Structure 1
Amino acid sequence: MDTLESLIITRRLRVPIDDPADATAGWGEVAARQLDAALLSVGFTCSPALLERLARLPGEIVVDLGVRVLAAVRELVGDHVQHNAYFIDFPKNVPDTLEFWVGLLSEALLDPVAAARVQPATLNLLTLPGYGRYQHSYADLMAAHAELIPLAGDRVTVLELGGSLESEARQLYFSLAGSEVPLSAEDLEALRTLAAFCAEEPERIPVRENRSIVNEVRLAAGRPLLVDTVTDVLRLACGCSGGDVTLAEPTRFRSFRRAERRALLQALDTVATPAKLGDVARHREQWKRLGERLHPHEYPHLPQAAQVFEVARGARDAPSFDSRVEAALSEGRTDDAVKLLENAPGALLRRLDHLLRTGPDESAVLDAAERAAAGASGRVLLSLREHLQNRLTTEAGRVFANRHGRAWAAPDTRSPLEETVLSRALSILDEEITRRLPDPGELIVDPDVLDVALPLSGKAVAPGLGMLPRGSVSAVDGELLRFFVHWRQVERRTDYDLSALMLDASYGNPEQISWTNYGNGFATYSGDLTDASDGASEFIDVRLADATHPIVIPQVNIYAGEPFDEAAEAFFGYMTRDAAQEGRPFEPRTVRMKSDLRGSGRVALPLVFLRGDDGGWRVKWLHLYLKGHPGFNRVEGNRVTASLLVRSIVERDYLRVRYLADLLRAKGSAAGHTTYIGLEAPADLPEGARVYTPATLHELIPA
């Protein structure tokens, strides 16, 4: 239950409260005020409704609930660990880089034991005594810093009153399971937890990975499975074996019980039609391994299921739909390819750019696209809309990112599309998207949310505090910007390096802050830590008014040790403060964004800070990882790749909330309900208002 409660608090910022049985009220108001005071210290507060509800509970229950709520939000903001800094007075009294190294070397030479190990021919500065490990305790750090001066600009996140745990879990479950966009790995795990708790299911589960998790519960309960392709069965088998339901990584299948084997093969037999057998080849090796576990030969009355494994072994030929389309295109038979693709509307629209560039009759292709639009998912329509609007302008380059956030950029060598062709294609998409949108009634939109990108995929975005989809833009308030990284190793010595790449407006004239350059005229590094057996934190302070470069790209490099997704803990975030504020290196109420680091890349590029023509600063979300090297990654070594990637993201025209808000306004009526879209829900909304915030923005994507 604690896991469910924490999920609801951190994902929805709502506190679920069940009515206690046979409880006598007493000193609940005092306990509620104490909880609110504790929450304010980490940048959270209770809504009036939540305070009023807590005040009517017994004090003991409020205290127990408060302990759990405070633990959940402290982890959400990154305050559940002790953030020490290498230099105790950071950001003050940080030495010049050369001065620091010379000082360490001098100390080593004055120490007879250490001097014996210092050999000029093989000198490794990182092994000097005193380097890379804290030289003071966390208590010493606390004593060295004045308390934070609270200001009105500090973040205060409101926790709302929720319903019962069961009702809140059901709402979150329905939202995740019914999502029109693929979920992150963390959200898929949350969905698995919720599916085991909630008895009901949403009527529609459009994303197949979500469906596979719901099917795990159905299989365990002996209920009919929700499958309509052979790949659905493979995903389910992977999920039941603790593997990857996205099928990106191979799964080691477990032994299935007889009832499970029978259920999987029966489901496979119902969907393994000749037209769908072509999907088997895409995951041939995994099908072979699964066949060894399911023993299809023991079920002769399920012949179509057996054919799946025959195709996997190469004993039966089953050309895939994609191979037939590719054959037609490679032979120049674009018309035939279009006719084939009309049987799969989503596939046709995903290939529309290619078809328009290769087909002799653009009008016929657009006619087919217009017919296909009604049968494609809303996410496909919006993704194509974003793609085509970027074809109107010349991009710095094309950027590609996989489901893990690993990214690379390439020059755009595609031939341009005629403006009249693009205009008609965009018109087709706008009309179909508008048709699918609900009547918003009275529409209220917070201006701050207009530049948030629509969440067309959540795979690369790890949930956290203040997280927005890739391509989103928001203002940066405050005079001091401080970003931070914290990590803790499992077994191997692990060295992460927080760094910053600074560029001019043309993405040139690079300057960097890292362990090889502790500071410049406007930025300061907190010091390098090379071991994190008990956890390690690094910071970079940027005085925005003094910045000589308008582009600041924070990054986290793995210099040595465990990858992000193997470390016991790894997260990144940023804070903003005014110049008058003091405080410790880490102050939770000044944290604006915090999220876990993960992915298979060795260099993380979470976001980029940009100074506009008006002098104000903005942040644009990247959620990117570079492959990097197996070890010794440094900001100096990835400057060109990082610059090209960031430029591609910054100059790309992402489809934003503004687009859907304009369509909704045109469709609005005098219906007696209200729709609100914003970063936070105000307290004065009418009862029954439909609210969309970053946590539920995916629900805006039409079916």
Structure 2
Amino acid sequence: MLETGIIQKTLRVPMTAGPHGDGGTVARQVDTVLLSVGFKASGELLEHLSHVEPGVVMDTGVRILAAVRALVGDHVQHNVYFRDFPANVPDTVEFWLDCLRDAVVRTRPAGEPPDDDGLRAMLSTGRVDLLRLPKYGRYRHTYAEMLAAHDELIPSLKDRLTVLHLGRPLAEEAQDLYLALAGSPIPLGDTDLELLGELAAACVDGAQPETIPSRESLAVVNRAWLAAGRPVRVDTVTDVLRLACAMSDGDVSLTAPTRFRSFPRARRRALLTALDTVVRDSPAKAADVGRHREMWKRLGERLHPHEYPDLPHALKVFAVARGETVVRSLTGRVELAFADERVGDAVSLLTIAPGMLFRSLDRVLRTATPAEADAALTAVRETACQVSGRVILGVREHVANRTAPDAARIFVNREARAWARPDDRPPLPEPVVRRLTAILDEELTRRLPSWERIVVDPAVLNLTVPLTNKTAPNGFGVVPRGSVVPVDGEALRFFVYWRQARETTDFDLSVLLLDDAFRPAGQVSWTRLQDGGAVHSGDIVDAPTGASEFIDLNLENVRARYVLPQVNVFSGEGFTQVAESFFGFMLRSPDQAGRPFEPRTVRTKSDLRGTGRVALPVVFTRGDDGRWSARWMHLYLRGTSWANRVETNRVSTTMLARGVLERRYLPMSYLVDLLAAKAGTVTPYEPGMELDGPVTFVGLERPEGLPEGSEVYALDRLNELIPE
């Protein structure tokens, strides 16, 4: 499975370790099949496969095709309720009446005609359960019958074409990806953490990362090292707790409770020895136990620390967890200083932990006197060299939004669940923000590399700097929250797919249309199949083998400024409980035919795995020039346990969308400008441009024809541009 993970993550195909042969014909056939799903082998990859035995090329092609089909969502069958969608979708009320008429026909006495007036009267009472009608919400035709009703897709120059490049041998590609993921300066998402675990086990005998910035990644790698008998790296008591969670296949983020396993004696001693060393070298670190007191108690039941009297500092940790020993934390002392309005004392304490100082700057600066603010900025300048680049960039983005109140203050937890409320914080003084910004810019510039030749694809400039992948979904074409991507098609089609695991589950794809002032301008959902230039493919209420829903929009006819797609869990399992679920969108020309789902028109596909019951992946905006763009949200609303609908969550979803649209995220152009200041010049990339030597390329995808020795930072590596 490592090969599949490498292809999907890097768009690089590891070299095939097969016998030499004439595989040119089969390689071209593989390339033709790849074109049907919007992918193409690079010239270098085709040349490599052409010199491999044909049977091996065929097997390799099958694996490549399976990997990229899953990447864009083409590994499942996408059926629709209305077979001819987007054509011949009926009026909503007429469709409901037809379902009622069908139910009456099934039960009325022989020869008695249906009574349309009676059916309308039944519908007006509001007591008819559509979900119980035999004809409603369940496919009335097979997937093959649906395909037969659609013509072949008419090719378009705007269809997506993603190039797959030739990589190095599998072992080398695995080693490189392992070091990249382990050394990522930002936290990884669940899928990448799982891949990191596989890679760490496979690469345990190879080169190891010098540093592992993310604590969750460290836990995953430590598990592989411990299993191989290697020493682990821990410098806080929480690192040991995360490692115990990883060894129990639990949640290394410590968000959800973990059911700890019974560890063998050797593993118990290894964990307790690591714990003893941390507290022996820095006794104050035992104060961190209070943050996860109950988890430490449960872990103590599995580790039996009383059996190891030679590890007294480890015993102290569990004494703190039980409340028998008190160790006051730095956080507690800081809170006491703030409570007593001693901002200067709070800053002095925070300089002990510079990262905490930076994360507390907003609180410090909005409550400080001018003299205290000067002292705080001096402390920032003196301690900036000890703070991670990710934290500095996060503060830089934050203060850019603090000279005026936000339209809505958005809170997002580690599981991407969001909520919003009015921003009642007093703004930060503009002179203070300017001084702080200059300090941060200076420190970041100092840390960035001095590359001589930088080539940048302009398409990457409006993406936001990736400060975390924790809440970013796995998928294809997924970009960080707040990123802006142009929409260059005329017909936009959303899709959602889900497959239930244990119980009947109904997901509903919907679209909320908003005007210039974010007021409702219409909606499309199972309750309104057509509105404002948008058409729904029909409601599906049960997905034992998988189900899909689509919404088609002609962007020229949409009567709205903002288009907000959402996926509502109406009933049954949530996004983290279903066997599989994902959202995406396609771009087409209005005259293109084809199936409802055509993989080569897919621009993005993102997994839905949040803990809320309403998913808000993206919002689309029509600019003053009439052009459309997409801004990514990756947010979830808590919603209700049953019957979430676009009409009932309109206020919350609109507030979140407005908050994301009006927030100033830190764009990649900011980092590029800092790089340019050190390099002296940055060259914009144009397709087909000739380069006479190695360059550092920054863009969405690796272009063909880069000179040998070039370093490429594509979408999967943009996080590596964040300075340590």
Give yes or no for TM over 0.5: yes
Match of 2:531, SS?
A: coil
Map Cα deviations across residues 231-284 of structure 1 (whole Å, 9 max, x no partner): 100000000001000111111100000110111111000001321011000000
- Please name the residue that 1:503 is paired with: 514
Q: Summarize the alignment of residues 73-472 of structure 1 with structure 2, pairs less than 5 Å apart.
A: 73-112=68-107, 120=122, 122-198=127-203, 199=205, 200-272=207-279, 273-360=282-369, 361-472=372-483
- Please name the residue that 1:12 is paired with: 10
Q: Is the 8 Å Cα contact of residues 349 and 372 (structure 1) preserved in structure 2?
A: no
Match of 2:98, SS?
A: helix
Map Cα deviations across residues 76-104 of structure 1 (whole Å, 9 max, x no partner): 11111111110011000000001111111
Map Cα deviations across residues 308-359 of structure 1 (whole Å, 9 max, x no partner): 0000000000111111111111111111111110011111011111111112
Alpha-carbon separation, structure 1, partners of 2:424 and 2:694 = 49
Q: Of the candidates 635, 658, 676, which is equivalent to residue 697 of structure 2?
A: 676
Alpha-carbon separation, structure 2, partners of 1:282 and 1:568 = 33
Moved over 6 A (4+): 113-116
Match of 2:58, SS?
A: helix
Alpha-carbon separation, structure 1, partners of 2:331 and 2:707 = 50
Match of 1:621, SS?
A: strand
Alpha-carbon separation, structure 2, partners of 1:606 and 1:529 = 20
Amino acid at match of 1:696: R
Alpha-carbon separation, structure 1, partners of 2:713 and 2:93 = 52
Alpha-carbon separation, structure 1, partners of 2:402 and 2:183 = 31
Alpha-carbon separation, structure 2, partners of 1:501 and 1:669 = 46
Q: Of the candidates 613, 616, 620, which is equivalent to residue 605 of structure 1?
A: 616
Amino acid at match of 2:308: Y
Map Cα deviations across residues 461-512 of structure 1 (whole Å, 9 max, x no partner): 1121111000000100111000000111112001000000000111113411
Alpha-carbon separation, structure 2, partners of 1:215 and 1:182 = 16
Structure 1 position 49 matched with structure 2 position 56: no
Amino acid at match of 1:253: F
Rate the CA distance shift 1:330–1:650 in 2: closer, same or farther, 3 A. Answer: same
Q: Is the 8 Å Cα contact of residues 103 and 135 (structure 2) preserved in structure 1?
A: no
Match of 1:162, SS?
A: strand
Q: Is the 8 Å Cα contact of residues 16 and 60 (structure 2) preserved in structure 1?
A: no
Match of 2:568, SS?
A: strand
Deviation at residue 73 of structure 1 after TM alignment: 0.5
Deviation at residue 111 of structure 1 after TM alignment: 2.2
Q: Is the 8 Å Cα contact of residues 440 and 673 (structure 1) preserved in structure 2?
A: no
Structure 1 position 25 matched with structure 2 position 34: no
Q: Summarize the alignment of residues 612-691 of structure 1 with structure 2, pairs less than 5 Å apart.
A: 612-668=623-679, 674-691=695-712
Q: Is the 8 Å Cα contact of residues 503 and 509 (structure 1) preserved in structure 2?
A: yes
Match of 2:386, SS?
A: coil
Alpha-carbon separation, structure 2, partners of 1:673 and 1:269 = 50
Map Cα deviations across residues 2-29 of structure 1 (whole Å, 9 max, x no partner): x100001100001002433xx2413x00
Alpha-carbon separation, structure 1, partners of 2:74 and 2:520 = 36
- Please name the residue that 2:533 is paired with: 522
Alpha-carbon separation, structure 2, partners of 1:169 and 1:678 = 23
Amino acid at match of 1:81: V
Larger deviation, residues 198-207 vs 255-264: 198-207
Deviation at residue 113 of structure 1 after TM alignment: 6.2
Deviation at residue 393 of structure 1 after TM alignment: 3.9
Match of 2:400, SS?
A: helix
Deviation at residue 414 of structure 1 after TM alignment: 1.0
Match of 1:391, SS?
A: coil
- Please name the residue that 1:67 is paired with: 62
Rate the CA distance shift 1:16–1:385 in 2: closer, same or farther, 3 A. Answer: same
Q: Is the 8 Å Cα contact of residues 439 and 669 (structure 1) preserved in structure 2?
A: no
Structure 1 position 577 matched with structure 2 position 588: yes
Rate the CA distance shift 1:521–1:411 in 2: closer, same or farther, 3 A. Answer: closer
Structure 1 position 34 matched with structure 2 position 34: no
Alpha-carbon separation, structure 2, partners of 1:673 and 1:477 = 32
Unaligned runs of 5+ in 2: 683-692
Map Cα deviations across residues 215-237 of structure 1 (whole Å, 9 max, x no partner): 10111122211000111000000
Match of 1:246, SS?
A: coil
- Please name the residue that 2:686 is paired with: none
Q: Of the candidates 517, 538, 550, which is equivalent to residue 549 of structure 2?
A: 538
Identity %: 56
Rate the CA distance shift 1:510–1:639 in 2: closer, same or farther, 3 A. Answer: farther
Amino acid at match of 2:529: Y
Q: In the comparison of the two structures, how many residue pairs are matched?
A: 697
Alpha-carbon separation, structure 2, partners of 1:581 and 1:486 = 22
Amino acid at match of 1:167: E
Map Cα deviations across residues 47-97 of structure 1 (whole Å, 9 max, x no partner): 000000000000000000111110111111111111111001100000000
Amino acid at match of 2:360: R
Alpha-carbon separation, structure 1, partners of 2:681 and 2:597 = 49
Deviation at residue 670 of structure 1 after TM alignment: 9.0
Amino acid at match of 2:83: I
Alpha-carbon separation, structure 1, partners of 2:160 and 2:494 = 15
Q: Is the 8 Å Cα contact of residues 85 and 537 (structure 1) preserved in structure 2?
A: yes
Q: Is the 8 Å Cα contact of residues 499 and 514 (structure 1) preserved in structure 2?
A: yes
Match of 2:15, SS?
A: coil
Alpha-carbon separation, structure 2, partners of 1:89 and 1:702 = 52
Deviation at residue 394 of structure 1 after TM alignment: 3.6
Alpha-carbon separation, structure 2, partners of 1:516 and 1:578 = 27
Deviation at residue 669 of structure 1 after TM alignment: 5.4
What TM-score, normalized to structure 1?
0.97
Match of 2:449, SS?
A: coil
What TM-score, normalized to structure 2?
0.95
Alpha-carbon separation, structure 2, partners of 1:95 and 1:214 = 55
Deviation at residue 106 of structure 1 after TM alignment: 1.7
Structure 1 position 58 matched with structure 2 position 53: yes
Match of 1:66, SS?
A: helix
Alpha-carbon separation, structure 2, partners of 1:543 and 1:178 = 44
Larger deviation, residues 678-687 vs 519-528: 678-687
- Please name the residue that 2:688 is paired with: none
